[in-house]
Amino acid sequence: MVDLSVNLAGMEMDNPIVPASGTFGFGKEFKDFYDINILGSFSFKGTTKDARFGNPTPRIAECSSGMINAVGLQNPGVEHVVKYELPEMKEYFNKKVIANVSGFSVEDYAYTCRILDKEEQVGILEVNVSCPNVHGGGMSFGTSPECAAEVTRAVKAVTTKPVFIKLSPNVTDIVSIAKACEDAGADGICLINTMLGMRVDIKRRKPVIANTMGGFSGSAIFPVAVRMVYQVAKACNIPVMGCGGVSSAKDVIEMMMAGATAVQVGAANLVDPYVCKNIIEALPIECEKLGINKISDIIGVID
Amino acid sequence: MVDLSVNLAGMEMDNPIVPASGTFGFGKEFKDFYDINILGSFSFKGTTKDARFGNPTPRIAECSSGMINAVGLQNPGVEHVVKYELPEMKEYFNKKVIANVSGFSVEDYAYTCRILDKEEQVGILEVNVSCPNVHGGGMSFGTSPECAAEVTRAVKAVTTKPVFIKLSPNVTDIVSIAKACEDAGADGICLINTMLGMRVDIKRRKPVIANTMGGFSGSAIFPVAVRMVYQVAKACNIPVMGCGGVSSAKDVIEMMMAGATAVQVGAANLVDPYVCKNIIEALPIECEKLGINKISDIIGVID
Amino acid sequence: MYKQGLFEVLSNDKIAKDVFKMVLKGDTQYITAPGQFVNIKLDGKFLRRPISVCDCEDDKLTIIYKVVGEGTEQMSAVETGSTLDILTGLGNGYDITKSKKPLLIGGGVGVPPMYLLCKKLVENGQNPTVILGFNTEDEIFYEEEFRLLGADVRVTTVDGSYGTKGFVTDAFPDEYDYFYTCGPMPMFRAIEAKAVTSGQYSFEERMGCGFGACMGCSCKTKYGSKRICKDGPVLVREEIIW
Amino acid sequence: MYKQGLFEVLSNDKIAKDVFKMVLKGDTQYITAPGQFVNIKLDGKFLRRPISVCDCEDDKLTIIYKVVGEGTEQMSAVETGSTLDILTGLGNGYDITKSKKPLLIGGGVGVPPMYLLCKKLVENGQNPTVILGFNTEDEIFYEEEFRLLGADVRVTTVDGSYGTKGFVTDAFPDEYDYFYTCGPMPMFRAIEAKAVTSGQYSFEERMGCGFGACMGCSCKTKYGSKRICKDGPVLVREEIIW
Ligand SMILES: Cc1cc2nc3c(=O)[nH]c(=O)nc-3n(C[C@H](O)[C@H](O)[C@H](O)COP(=O)(O)OP(=O)(O)OC[C@H]3O[C@@H](n4cnc5c(N)ncnc54)[C@H](O)[C@@H]3O)c2cc1C
Ligand SMILES: Cc1cc2nc3c(=O)[nH]c(=O)nc-3n(C[C@H](O)[C@H](O)[C@H](O)COP(=O)(O)OP(=O)(O)OC[C@H]3O[C@@H](n4cnc5c(N)ncnc54)[C@H](O)[C@@H]3O)c2cc1C
Ligand SMILES: Cc1cc2nc3c(=O)[nH]c(=O)nc-3n(C[C@H](O)[C@H](O)[C@H](O)COP(=O)(O)O)c2cc1C
Ligand SMILES: Cc1cc2nc3c(=O)[nH]c(=O)nc-3n(C[C@H](O)[C@H](O)[C@H](O)COP(=O)(O)O)c2cc1C
Ligand code: FES
Ligand code: FES
Question: How far is A155 from A107, CA to CA, in rounded Å?
Answer: 9
Convert the pLDDT of each residue in D89-120 to its tens digit.
Answer: 999 999 999 888 999 999 999 999 999 999 99
B267, B270, B273 ranked by CB distance to D4: nearest: B273
pLDDT band at A131 (very low <50, low <70, confident <90, very high): confident
Evaluate if residue C2 carries a pLDDT over 90.
no
Size of interface C-D (CB pairs under 8 A): 4
Helix (H/G/I), strand (E/B), else coil: A140: strand
Give the integer Cα–Cα distance in Å for A263 and A113. Answer: 23
DSSP D170: G
The dihedrals phi and psi of C117, each to the nearest 5 degrees, come to -60, -50
Run of H or E including D3: strand D3-16
Q: What is the DSSP letter of A82?
A: I
pLDDT band, residue B300 (cuts 50/70/90): very high
Å from CA of A68 to ligand 3 middle: 10
User: Quick one: pLDDT at residue B135?
Assistant: 74
Q: Coil, strand, or helix at residue B12?
A: strand
- Structural contact between residues A117 and A82, judged by C-beta atoms closer than 8 angstroms: no
Instruction: Indicate the top mutation candidate among C38, C42, C65 to test ligand 1's pocket, ranked by most ligand atoms within 8 A of CB.
Output: C65
- Interface predicted TM-score of the whole assembly (ipTM), two decimals: 0.96
Residues 6+ apart with CB under 8 A from A33: A273, A274, A277, C2, C4
Tens of pLDDT along chain D (242 residues) come to: 678 899 999 999 999 999 999 999 999 999 999 999 999 999 999 999 999 999 999 999 999 999 999 999 999 999 999 999 999 999 999 999 988 899 999 999 999 999 999 999 999 999 899 999 999 999 999 999 999 999 999 999 999 999 999 999 999 999 999 999 999 999 999 999 999 999 999 999 999 999 999 999 999 999 999 999 999 999 999 999 99
The answer to whether the beta carbons of residues B97 and B8 sit under 8 Å apart is no
By CB neighbour count within 10 A (0-12 exposed, 13-18 middle, 19+ buried), where does D232 fall? buried
pLDDT score, position C227:
97
Distance of CA B32 from the midpoint of ligand 5 (Å): 49
Q: How far is the CA of C231 from the centre of ligand 5 (A)?
A: 10
Strands (E), chain A: 6-8, 11-13, 17-19, 60-63, 66-69, 97-101, 122-128, 163-166, 188-191, 195-197, 200-201, 206-207, 214-217, 240-243, 260-265
Between chain A and chain B, the number of residue pairs with CB atoms below 8 A apart is 126
Min CA distance, B50 vs chain A (Å)?
28
With beta carbons under 8 A apart, name residues in chain B contacting D213: 23-25, 29-30, 269-270, 273
Q: Max Cα separation, chain D?
A: 49
SS3 call for D109: helix
Backbone angles phi, psi at D16, to 5 degrees: -165, 180
Question: How do residues A152-203 score in pLDDT, each as one tens digit?
Answer: 999 999 999 999 999 999 999 999 999 999 999 999 999 999 999 999 999 9
CA distance B246 to B258: 13
- Vertex B126, ends B120 and B127: CA angle to 5°? 125
Q: Which of B30, B64, B271, B276 to mutate to test the interface with D (most CBs of D within 10 A)?
A: B271
Q: Do D209 and B62 touch (CB under 8 A)?
A: no
pLDDT tier for residue B139 given thresholds of 50, 70 and 90: confident
Distance between CA D4 and CA C238 in Å, rounded?
A: 61
Q: What is the pLDDT of residue A138?
A: 72
Nearest protein Cα to ligand 2, atom 19:
D68
For chain C, the chains sharing at least 3 beta-carbon pairs closer than 8 angstroms are A, D
List CB contacts of C130: < 8 A, sequence separation 6 or more: C103, C104, C105, C106, C114, C118, C146, C151, C152, C153, C154
**B138 has pLDDT over 90:** no
Phi, psi of B139 (to 5 degrees): -65, 150
Is B230 an interface residue toward A (CB < 8 Å)?
yes
Is A131 an active-site residue? yes
Name the residue type at position B187. D
Tally Cβ neighbours within 10 Å of residue A261: 23
Asked if pLDDT for residue C176 goes beyond 90, the answer is yes
B110, amino acid identity: A
Query: CA-CA distance, D172 to B82, in Å (whole number)?
Result: 50
Q: What crossing angle do the helices spanning B174-183 and B222-235 adopt, rounded to 10°? A: 40
Question: What dihedral do alpha carbons D5, B24, D74, A288 form, nearest 10°?
Answer: 160
Q: How far apart are CA C81 and CA A194, in angstroms?
A: 39
What is the CA A86 to chain-centroid distance, rounded? Answer: 18
For the residues A73-85, what does the mean pLDDT come to? 95
Which residues, in sequence order, are bridge partners of residue C52? C37
Task: Return the partners of chain A (3 or more C-beta pairs < 8 Å).
Answer: B, C
Helix, strand or coil for residue B55? coil
pLDDT tens digits, one per residue of C55-80: 999 999 999 999 999 999 999 999 99
Would you say residue B137 has pLDDT above 90?
no
The partner residue sitting opposite A222, judged by closest CB among B64, B206, B207, is B64
Is omega for the bond preceding A87 within 30 degrees of 0, making it cis?
no
Per-residue pLDDT for B134 more than 80? Answer: no
Separation of CA D121 from chain center: 15
Beta carbons of B147 and B137 less than 8 angstroms apart: no
Q: Are strands D129-134 and D152-157 parallel, antiparallel or unpaired?
A: parallel
**B210 Cα distance to chain centroid:** 24
What is the helix, strand, coil percentage profile of chain A, to 5? Answer: 35, 20, 45
Query: Can you tell me the distance from the alpha carbon of A300 to that of A6, in angstroms, rounded to the nearest whole number?
Result: 13
| pLDDT score at A1 | 87
Sequence-ordered list of residues with C-beta below 8 angstroms from that of C148, at least 6 positions apart, any chain: none
Chain A contact for C2 (CB, 8 A cutoff): yes
Q: What is the mean pLDDT of residues A124-140?
A: 84
pLDDT at A248: 98
Residues 6 or more apart from A167 whose CB is under 8 A from it? A129, A130, A142, A148, A174, A177, A178, A181, A189, A190, A191, A192, A193, A228, A232
Please give the DSSP secondary-structure letter assigned to residue C66.
Answer: E
Distance CA C173, CA C186 (A): 20
**pLDDT, mean over chain C:** 95
Cβ contacts of C121-124, under 8 Å, gap ≥ 24: C121/C96, C122/C149, C122/C150, C122/C151, C124/C96
Q: Give CA–CA dist A299/A8, Å, rounded.
A: 12
Q: Which of D21, D51, D139 to mutate to test the pocket of ligand 2 (most atoms within 8 A of CB)?
A: D51
The CA distance from C166 to C92, in Å, is: 31
In contact, C39 and C49? CB cutoff 8 Å: yes
User: Residue A194 in contact with residue A224, Cβ under 8 Å?
Assistant: no
Cα distance between residue A246 and residue A223, in whole Å: 10
Q: Considering only CA atoms, which of B1, B12, B20 is closest in space to residue B252?
A: B20
CB A274 within 8 A of CB C4: yes
- By CB neighbour count within 10 A (0-12 exposed, 13-18 middle, 19+ buried), where does B8 fall? buried
Say whether the peptide bond before residue A273 is cis (omega within 30 degrees of 0).
Answer: no
Angle between helix A222-235 and helix A174-183 axes, rounded to 10 deg: 40
Query: Distance between CA A223 and CA C34 in Å, rounded?
Result: 43
pLDDT tens, position by position, B64-96:
999 999 999 999 999 999 999 999 999 999 999
User: Looking at the DSSP assignment, which residues form a beta bridge with residue C75?
Assistant: none
Which of B58, B30, B10 is closest to B213 using CA atoms?
B58
- CA neighbor of B17 nearest in space, from B36, B47, B40, B35: B40
Q: Is the pLDDT of residue B260 over 90?
A: yes
| Alpha-carbon torsion (D63, D67, D69, D75), positive or negative | positive
For the sheet with B17-19, list strands across it. B17-19, B260-265, B240-243, B188-191, B163-166, B122-128, B97-101
> Which CA distances in Å does D174 have to A230, C96, D134, D151, D197?
53, 91, 21, 16, 12
Question: Residue B289: in which H helix or E strand, if any?
Answer: helix B275-289
What is the CA angle B41-B42-B46, rounded to 5? Answer: 150
Q: Choose from A29, A47, A68, A203 for mutation: most chain C CBs within 10 A.
A: A29
Ligand 3, residue A20: give the atom nearest the CA: 17
**Does D44 touch chain C if contact means CB atoms closer than 8 Å?**
yes
- Measured CA to CA, the distance from residue C19 to residue B302 in angstroms comes to 30
At what angle are helices A174-183 and A145-156 packed, to 10 degrees? Answer: 30
Give the pLDDT score at B1: 87
Q: Average the pLDDT over each of A135-139, B211-215, C39-43, D195-199 and give the range with the smallest value.
A: A135-139
Bridge-based pairing of strands C129-134 and C55-57 is unpaired
Element spanning C220, H or E: strand C218-221
